[in-house]
Amino acid sequence: MTPAPATFSFNGTNGDRPWAALVQRSDGNFYGTTYDGGAYRNQWGYTLGTIFRLTVSGADSPKIVATSRSGSTITLTWLALQSRSYQLQFTTHLTQPNWNSLGNPITATNPTATASDSIGSDRQRFYRVALLP
């Protein structure tokens, strides 16, 4: 089930007439400007516009979107924030509190990141991706 898209409206007080393209920063938030609106006015009484931030819930939580297996190698792909670092981890039992890190942290260069694991003699493995600070 896909959640309904979030909507936002400018009302003059919080800005009016978005002016430039949104920019996504490494914190996962989007930033932009408005041409008009806001609380501050110049000497002629015109509003000066605003700088605003849009926070996307879940942007800081990586989500595995694809898996594939070739022989004894499994490859996982997840949604990522560019320039952020991730650690692929696994456990053989979900009741264990500790997860094992696989390889070195991966720094995302695209909106997705990928890592592979060589499946050993474990009967099962559970995977997760951790966003590093």
Phi-psi region of 15 (alpha: psi -120 to 50; beta: other; left: phi over 0): left
CA distances in angstroms from 12 to 8, 37, 38, 59, 95, listed in the order given? 13, 5, 6, 28, 52
Multiple choice CATH, 64-131, 1.25.40, 1.10.3470, 2.60.40, 3.40.1130: 2.60.40
Tokens found for residue 95: 């009741």
Question: What percent of the chain lies above the pLDDT cut of 70?
Answer: 91
Tokens found for residue 78: 């997840």
pLDDT digits 0-9 by tens, 60-74: 678 899 999 999 899
Residue boundaries of the structural domains of the chain = 16-54, 64-131
Tokens found for residue 55: 């926070």
pLDDT at 1 over 50: no
pLDDT digits 0-9 by tens, 70-90: 998 999 999 888 888 999 999
Decide if 34 contacts 19 (C-beta within 8 A).
yes
pLDDT digits 0-9 by tens, 14-49: 888 888 888 877 677 788 888 888 778 888 888 888
The pLDDT-based confidence of 3 (bands split at 50, 70, 90) is low
3-state secondary structure the chain: CCCCCCCCCCCCCCCEEECCCCEECCCCCEEEEEEECCCCECCCCCECCCEEEECCCCCCCCCEEEEEEECCEEEEEEECCCCCEEEEEEECCCCCCCCEECCCCEECCCCEEEEEEECCCCCCCEEEEEECC
Question: What percent of the chain lies above the pLDDT cut of 90?
Answer: 33
Predicted pLDDT of residue 57: 65
Task: Write down the residue that tokens 């002016």 correspond to.
Answer: 19
Mean predicted lDDT score pLDDT of the chain:
85
Please state the pTM of the whole predicted model. Answer: 0.61
